[in-house]
Amino acid sequence: MKVLMRLVFGQLVLRSYYISVLIGQGNRTFADEVTYYGGWYLHSLSVGDCNKNGIIDIFVADSYHNGVSVLLGLVDGSFKYQTWFAVGNNPASLAVGDFNEDNNLDIVVCNSDNSTISVHFGFENGSFSTGIPHSTGTPTSSFSVADLNKDKLLDIVLTNFADNVMSVFLGLGNGSFFDRAIYSTGSNTTATVIKDLNNDTRLDILLVVNGAS
């Protein structure tokens, strides 16, 4: 648990080929950065414990090779490059969560050039399945994961920047989703955050809009 907390309060920085990890020292300072190879043209990362050993692991989207790199955490706060698995074309972002209710960590990837999201089911040994693709209609740039409708199942909100819309996929609890619901946004929407902004216990959605609303 000590290693887990140190990482959570550290900082992860993406470079062109490397992930930089700065471990928090508990006094508002950070240790010198340590770099780890993650692939080429890294766009997005997330963290979680994929092999259930109580230590945080790193997952990073390798957009050049159309895959995801997995770096397993070690007890001393360092990481080792464990595996790489293929996803769709140009993975722009990723997130982790349990999408099929089996208590294993899964990875969902936004494949921008394929106009899909793919769900990769996790196994207890830290490996992942071939992705199940779901069409997003048009290319996407960003998505967020949360339980929007209080059914204790993970849902997905993503931006379709070419169409100036936001898509919502409500989860079914087996790694699949209801047909997407579409909401109009401003032009060139590129980022999403889900949070309860007005303390009414209902989740709200924030969007970054780079054009007219």
> Could you say which residues of the chain have pLDDT below 50?
1-11
- The answer as to whether 26 is a domain residue is no
C-beta of residue 40 within 8 angstroms of C-beta of residue 46: no
User: How confident is the model at residue 212, as a pLDDT?
Assistant: 63
- The answer as to whether 77 is a domain residue is no
User: How confident is the model at residue 96, as a pLDDT?
Assistant: 96
Measure Cα distances from 36 to 7, 9, 144 in Å.
15, 18, 26
User: How confident is the model at residue 162, as a pLDDT?
Assistant: 82
Measure Cα distances from 91 to 50, 180, 181 in Å.
20, 20, 22
User: How confident is the model at residue 13, as a pLDDT?
Assistant: 56
- The answer as to whether 160 is a domain residue is yes
- The answer as to whether 19 is a domain residue is no
The domain tally of the chain equals 1
User: How confident is the model at residue 54, as a pLDDT?
Assistant: 93
- The answer as to whether 159 is a domain residue is yes
Torsion over CA: 75, 77, 81, 84 (sign): positive
User: How confident is the model at residue 14, as a pLDDT?
Assistant: 55
- The answer as to whether 50 is a domain residue is no
- The answer as to whether 181 is a domain residue is yes
Distance (Å, rounded) from C-alpha 135 to C-alpha 115?
A: 6
Here the tokens at position 19 are: 């992930």
- The answer as to whether 58 is a domain residue is no
User: How confident is the model at residue 35, as a pLDDT?
Assistant: 87
C-beta of residue 188 within 8 angstroms of C-beta of residue 212: no
User: How confident is the model at residue 15, as a pLDDT?
Assistant: 56
User: How confident is the model at residue 4, as a pLDDT?
Assistant: 40
Domain hosting residue 152, numbered range: 139-213
